[in-house]
């Protein structure tokens, strides 16, 4: 399996996660002040982003604790996450793009689900 860096020429690059959250908050301004909106932040890295979004929208913030499911031999590259309660979410584009099979995914997910 070979990981190739991909750079989208249109992708925004931010100084940090808080700046990204402020920009996202502006983009989501149509949801500002609504009482049917809750911002969810994925701990750890997503919380600074979510904090800024929640502040911009005047919305409550909640956090979801997840464990990253890293690609075999490239653990920092996420292919999905597993939440408390065992709910697993995969990025199908990553799994398919790297040619990972269900056994490889299970080998990564099962130890994290047990902890």
Mean pLDDT for 83-106 is: 92
Indicate the pTM of the whole model: 0.72
Flag whether pLDDT at 113 surpasses 90: no
Q: Identify whether the C-beta of residue 113 lies closer than 8 Å to the C-beta of residue 106.
A: no
Q: Give burial (CB, 10 Å; 0-12/13-18/19+) of 29.
A: exposed
Model pLDDT for residues 23-75, shown as the tens digit of each residue: 999 999 999 999 999 999 988 789 999 999 999 999 999 998 899 999 999 99
Return the pLDDT at 85.
79
Let me know if 18 is exposed, middle or buried by CB neighbors in 10 A (0-12, 13-18, 19+): middle
Count of C-beta atoms within a 10 Å radius of residue 108: 19
How many CB atoms sit inside 10 A of residue 89's CB? 11
Domains and CATH numbers, the chain: 13-59 (no CATH), 66-115 (3.30.1310)
């Amino acid at each position: 399996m070979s990981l190739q860096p991909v750079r989208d020429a249109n992708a925004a690059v931010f100084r940090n996660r808080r700046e990204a959250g402020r920009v996202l908050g502006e983009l989501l301004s149509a949801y500002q002040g609504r009482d049917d909106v809750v911002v969810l932040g994925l701990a750890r890295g997503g919380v600074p982003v979510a904090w800024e979004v929640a502040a911009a929208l005047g919305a409550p913030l909640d956090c979801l604790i997840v464990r990253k499911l890293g690609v075999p031999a490239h653990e920092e590259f996420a292919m999905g996450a597993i939440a408390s309660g065992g709910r697993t979410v995969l990025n199908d584009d990553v799994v398919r793009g790297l040619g990972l099979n269900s056994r490889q995914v299970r080998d990564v997910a099962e130890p994290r689900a047990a902890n």
